[in-house]
């Protein structure tokens, strides 16, 4: 799948601290990648939970100036109180829920939002709905990578990768309270690229 190739390509291009450098790239299968406005991530948190076999990832992402942030979050499972890879996870429909809790909407609200969104034209400013997803991948060297994907339509996808160095995800606490926590910046911008399939 070309999303996986794009992810690997962007991961290789990502700098070791904050974000990928803005260089044009082309996938091996001929898909052109054009740079689009950076994805702005705010309130990023990731941590293994103390005395638990769970870990969590949550953040808000904004795709252009003055857009409503999309809230993304996921729970993972860990056996060693560390952050673990999670699969591609869709972000809930609608704006960030602020301090209201999990941020997961119910099916009635999601259907209502989808109906509302269907009345809007599907252009580059589409920031809600099932088109936004993310994935966290633990790397063999102890680093992590956050992949954020915004699907514009069936043939157009915007993708950004934020690489996190091992020193930004240290183990904290002692004995039974020892657990891994993201200690990097909470707010950051990640260069994003658009992939367009032909045909």
* Contacting residues for 54 by C-beta, under 8 A, at least 6 apart: 48, 75, 76, 77, 78
What integer is the mean pLDDT of 52-80?
94
3-state secondary structure of 149: strand
Question: Among 9-18, 24-33, 50-59, 101-110, where is mean pLDDT lowest?
Answer: 101-110
Task: Label residue 114 by pLDDT band (50, 70, 90).
Answer: very low
- Give the integer Cα–Cα distance in Å for 188 and 61: 10
Look at residue 37 in the predicted model and tell me its pLDDT.
94
Look at residue 31 in the predicted model and tell me its pLDDT.
56
- Give the integer Cα–Cα distance in Å for 116 and 111: 9
* Contacting residues for 23 by C-beta, under 8 A, at least 6 apart: 13
Task: Label residue 74 by pLDDT band (50, 70, 90).
Answer: very high
What integer is the mean pLDDT of 145-161?
94
Task: Using the predicted structure, report yes or no on whether residue 190 has a pLDDT greater than 90.
Answer: yes
Look at residue 12 in the predicted model and tell me its pLDDT.
44
CA nearest to 180, candidates 126, 141, 155, 144: 144
- Give the integer Cα–Cα distance in Å for 192 and 19: 10
Task: Looking at mean pLDDT, say which of 1-15, 29-43, 119-133, 161-175 comes out highest.
Answer: 161-175
What integer is the mean pLDDT of 1-22?
42
Assess contact for 78 and 53: CB atoms under 8 A. yes
DSSP 31-48: -EEEEEEEEEEEEEEEEE
- Mean pLDDT, the chain, rounded, equals 75
Q: Which two tokens stand for residue 1?
A: 């799948």
> Any alpha helices (H) in the chain, and if so which ranges?
2-13, 107-118
Percent of the chain with pLDDT over 90: 56
Look at residue 33 in the predicted model and tell me its pLDDT.
77
3-state secondary structure of 71: strand
CA nearest to 169, candidates 180, 156, 185, 155: 180
- Give the integer Cα–Cα distance in Å for 16 and 3: 21
Query: Within the chain, how many helices (H) and strands (E) appear?
Result: 2, 11
């Amino acid at each position: 799948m070309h999303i996986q190739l794009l992810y690997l390509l962007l991961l290789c291009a990502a700098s070791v601290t904050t974000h990928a450098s803005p260089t044009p790239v082309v996938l091996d299968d001929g898909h052109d990648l054009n740079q689009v406005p950076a994805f702005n991530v705010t309130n990023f948190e990731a941590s293994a939970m103390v005395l638990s076999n769970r870990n969590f990832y949550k953040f808000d992402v904004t795709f252009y100036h003055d857009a409503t942030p999309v809230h993304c979050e996921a729970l993972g499972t860990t056996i060693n109180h560390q952050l673990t890879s999670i699969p591609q996870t869709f972000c809930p429909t609608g704006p960030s829920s602020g301090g209201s809790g999990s941020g997961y909407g119910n099916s009635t609200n999601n259907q209502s939002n989808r109906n509302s969104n269907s009345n809007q034209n599907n252009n580059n400013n589409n920031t809600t709905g099932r088109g936004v997803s993310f994935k966290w991948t633990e790397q063999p060297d102890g680093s992590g990578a956050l992949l954020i994907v915004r699907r514009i339509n069936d043939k157009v996808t915007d993708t950004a990768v934020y690489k996190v160095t091992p020193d930004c995800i240290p183990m904290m606490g002692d004995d039974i309270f020892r657990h891994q926590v993201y200690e990097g910046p909470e707010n950051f911008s990640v260069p994003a690229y658009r992939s367009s399939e032909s045909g």
